[in-house]
Structure 1
Amino acid sequence: MRSLFTPRTLVRHSFLAMGTDVMVTLAPRRRHLIKKARDAIVDVQIMIREFGRDGWAWGDGDLGTFNRQLAVGERAAIPPALKPIFDRAWSISLASGGHYEPRIAQLVHLWGFDDLMRLRDTPPTHEEIEQRVQAMQRAPDYDATSDHYGPAPLTGWDFGGIAKGYIVDRALDLLTHAGFGDATVDAGGNVSARGRKHDRSWLIGIRKPLELGDDADAPSLLASLAVNNEAVNTHGDDQRFFMFQGRRYGHLLDPRSGVPVQGLRSLTVVHRDGMLAEAGGAALFVAGPQAWPTLAAKLGIDQVFAVHSDGRIQATVALAARLRVEPGVNIDVVDLAKESEIAID
């Protein structure tokens, strides 16, 4: 007689959404739940694809329509389905001192980072960059009590630094409601896990940033960690970038200068809140190699893994204690409680 228990069965499905490969993995506890698990993944796929359409800053969905109204100087209605993201994005922006900035869509578009098909091979002019930075600085603050925003010409909202954290957690909520509380959703560097992988925790790897010519299908790991009911979010400069005169221009922009950030290759945040893991991680990346520990302490993010451009690797005390480090990888441990105050520009 075949057992109804499935101690090693995993149900996986990958699909393209939000410009990246999304992988959903479930660990059903009984064999007869496998079909229901596949049906639940289909529901997740539909939800994420619909969200990807409506949450894309430049498409025909809700956010794209909102941004086009701003572009012509109109006061735009905030899409109700996206209101929670507007609220949280602005809250994190304020808490980070503007290191995370959701009103950056025009700059992202100028640099060509909104679409790999139009990625530039030379930087924009200083005048083009400055025009958009100044427009963003002149734009009104967001008012969470209002259902409109603007006018804010030459300014647009982009949730590329928070939306995946939001929708991945939503997807896991949907799966839990369907009876599958043991699951992971990986949306291109945004991984969240719930429950367990049968009799063990989910194991998530932190990979080495890719160099030019590396095989993207066979990345090497720096470390891994067991996770349970957490998000593991990585920002890096190796996925969307161009080279010009020997310098790498990655897609993570400093909203104050309007140019790609230098100093870090990747930065990973582990947190129970997927939106804070993603948006907070973006803010830390912008803060840079010297100032990210101070900002992390301010934001209440105590688990960080940072790879510097010079190859140096750091991890906070709270995360270092959990890591399974690969042979030959050396990590400097950062104690946020003892880190001296560094001015965050």
Structure 2
Amino acid sequence: MQPSTRLTTSLITRGILGLVLAGLLLLSGCQTTPPPVVQTFYVFGTEVSVHIYDTPSPQAQKAIHAIEQHFLAMHQAWHAWEPHGWVYQINQAIAQDQAIEIPADIQAFIQQTQQLSARTHHLFDPGIGSLIALWGFHQRDWQGPPPDLHLRQAWLDQRPSIADLAFEQGQLTSRNTEVRLDFGGNLKGLAVQQAWSILQDHQIPRALLNLGGDLGSFSLDTRDKNPHTNWTIKLRDPQQPERAIAEVILPANMALFTSGTYQRYFDWQGQRFSHLLNPNTAAPADSFASVSVWHPDPVMADTLATALLIAGPNGWQALVAEFELSHYLLIDQQNQLIVSPALSPWLVKTTP
């Protein structure tokens, strides 16, 4: 594995910090005719925007409408805390120690996620919904206080995990009734992946998806290596959000996902608690401020951004080796940056 470059912010300018601030992105693309069709809607608890280029407006609007309807259906099916969706029903069945028959596509993604989770040694684990609820991060507002240590230890003694699930003839069972599924850690990756299929079905030449700062670029030509079809992502300064201070190039058919401890949190008695929880400690991860992963598979990018952040300084390199990950950027709490050699050339511009 090629060694990473470890830098401090003073060496590469603070502009790079904008790369990992999800939701703080300005987007720009190449000049096109006809003008781009852009539409924004709210789903998955975040703002989603779809930018379609080189496409007549009626064709673009049909594609965007199809994506929006699909995302809304996904939101209902996969929401862990709202009744009527599949994940909610699965969690209810697990709590009652009952088997439940589920659709094939739901089963396929759960099994895919089980495999990914196992490869991360369950640092990334969507089976920890009960821990998320214990901390209160399943609610819209997080105000604390943090749960008592004895409650966290009781959870650790049970250690529910997605690994506890089994399937037989389309039915899901769990050997641990404390498992509660919550796919907030990689559902947006699945959404981008499926949106790409919709864009392909509608013969959209080029598009960009922005799900709260997590990005997926698309080209109908899967072999597209033309630099003129790359995306220039203008990144906002977290200290001065009104201005862009850095740019990164995102090529066609690539995803850029970020996990960070800086955006969703609550403060309690002078201490900050992030929503990203380490299943091995039942406490928030706090070693890295953020992790960004650049990958052709959106599900992989979404999963690994979370897994690397939770792994922290002592575990991230093992995960990079396990997944042969080449493009990543990590920032620790002291503002030191670790930039993979493969990603460095795509960081094309910073300003003081």
Q: Aligning the two structures, in what range does the TM-score lie when normalised by the shorter sequence?
A: 0.7 to 0.9
Q: Does 1:111 align with 2:121?
A: no
| C-alpha distance in structure 2 between counterparts of 1:305 and 1:54, whole Å | 32
The aligned runs of 1:1-345 (5 Å cut-off) are 6-7=32-33, 9-29=35-55, 33-60=56-83, 61-117=85-141, 119-137=142-160, 141-143=164-166, 147=170, 148-195=172-219, 199-205=228-234, 210=238, 218=242, 221-328=245-352
Q: Is the 8 A contact 1:15 1:45 kept in 2?
A: yes
| C-alpha distance in structure 2 between counterparts of 1:37 and 1:168, whole Å | 17
In structure 2, do the counterparts of structure 1 residues 293 and 140 end up closer, same or farther at CA, with 3 Å as the change threshold?
closer
Give the TM-score, by structure 2 length. Answer: 0.82
Corresponding residue number in structure 1 for 2:8 = none
In structure 2, do the counterparts of structure 1 residues 199 and 140 end up closer, same or farther at CA, with 3 Å as the change threshold?
closer
| C-alpha distance in structure 2 between counterparts of 1:300 and 1:311, whole Å | 25
Q: Is the 8 A contact 2:331 2:337 kept in 1?
A: yes
Shift in Å at residue 63 of structure 1? 0.6
In structure 2, do the counterparts of structure 1 residues 251 and 138 end up closer, same or farther at CA, with 3 Å as the change threshold?
closer
Shift in Å at residue 177 of structure 1? 1.0
Letter in 2 for 1:74: Q
SS of aligned partner of 1:243: strand
Letter in 2 for 1:225: I
In structure 2, do the counterparts of structure 1 residues 21 and 140 end up closer, same or farther at CA, with 3 Å as the change threshold?
closer
Q: Is the 8 A contact 1:172 1:184 kept in 2?
A: no
Q: Is the 8 A contact 2:164 2:176 kept in 1?
A: no
Name stretches of at least 5 consecutive residues in structure 2 with no aligned partner.
1-30
Shift in Å at residue 49 of structure 1? 0.7
SS of aligned partner of 2:159: helix
Shift in Å at residue 223 of structure 1? 4.6
| C-alpha distance in structure 2 between counterparts of 1:223 and 1:56, whole Å | 34
| C-alpha distance in structure 2 between counterparts of 1:309 and 1:285, whole Å | 11
Tell me the alpha carbon deviations over residues 314-344 of structure 1, each in whole angstroms, 9 at most, x when there is no partner: 110111122124134xxxxxxxxxxxxxxxx
Shift in Å at residue 206 of structure 1? 5.3
Name stretches of at least 5 consecutive residues in structure 1 with no aligned partner.
329-345
Deviating more after overlay: 232-241 vs 79-88: 79-88
Shift in Å at residue 34 of structure 1? 1.0
User: What's the RMSD between the two structures over aligned residues?
Assistant: 2.4
| C-alpha distance in structure 1 between counterparts of 2:162 and 2:338, whole Å | 36
Letter in 2 for 1:102: P
| C-alpha distance in structure 2 between counterparts of 1:54 and 1:23, whole Å | 21
| C-alpha distance in structure 2 between counterparts of 1:312 and 1:116, whole Å | 31
In structure 2, do the counterparts of structure 1 residues 291 and 152 end up closer, same or farther at CA, with 3 Å as the change threshold?
closer
Tell me the alpha carbon deviations over residues 141-179 of structure 1, each in whole angstroms, 9 at most, x when there is no partner: 334665312143222111111111001110121011101
In structure 2, do the counterparts of structure 1 residues 79 and 206 end up closer, same or farther at CA, with 3 Å as the change threshold?
farther
| C-alpha distance in structure 1 between counterparts of 2:254 and 2:288, whole Å | 24
Shift in Å at residue 247 of structure 1? 2.2
Q: Is the 8 A contact 1:59 1:65 kept in 2?
A: no
Q: Is the 8 A contact 2:125 2:279 kept in 1?
A: yes
Corresponding residue number in structure 1 for 2:28 = none
Shift in Å at residue 138 of structure 1? 7.7
Tell me the alpha carbon deviations over residues 76-132 of structure 1, each in whole angstroms, 9 at most, x when there is no partner: 334433122201111111111111111011111111212223x13221111222222
Q: Is the 8 A contact 2:123 2:311 kept in 1?
A: yes
Letter in 1 for 2:112: R
In structure 2, do the counterparts of structure 1 residues 188 and 219 end up closer, same or farther at CA, with 3 Å as the change threshold?
farther
Tell me the alpha carbon deviations over residues 185-234 of structure 1, each in whole angstroms, 9 at most, x when there is no partner: 111132100128994311234556x5xxx67x637555522321100000
SS of aligned partner of 1:54: helix
Deviating more after overlay: 146-155 vs 230-239: 146-155
In structure 2, do the counterparts of structure 1 residues 75 and 126 end up closer, same or farther at CA, with 3 Å as the change threshold?
farther
Q: Is the 8 A contact 2:145 2:268 kept in 1?
A: yes
SS of aligned partner of 2:165: coil
Q: Is the 8 A contact 2:37 2:51 kept in 1?
A: yes
Q: Is the 8 A contact 1:92 1:280 kept in 2?
A: no
In structure 2, do the counterparts of structure 1 residues 144 and 75 end up closer, same or farther at CA, with 3 Å as the change threshold?
closer
With CA pairs under 8 Å and 6+ residues apart, which has the higher RCO, 1 or 2?
A: 2
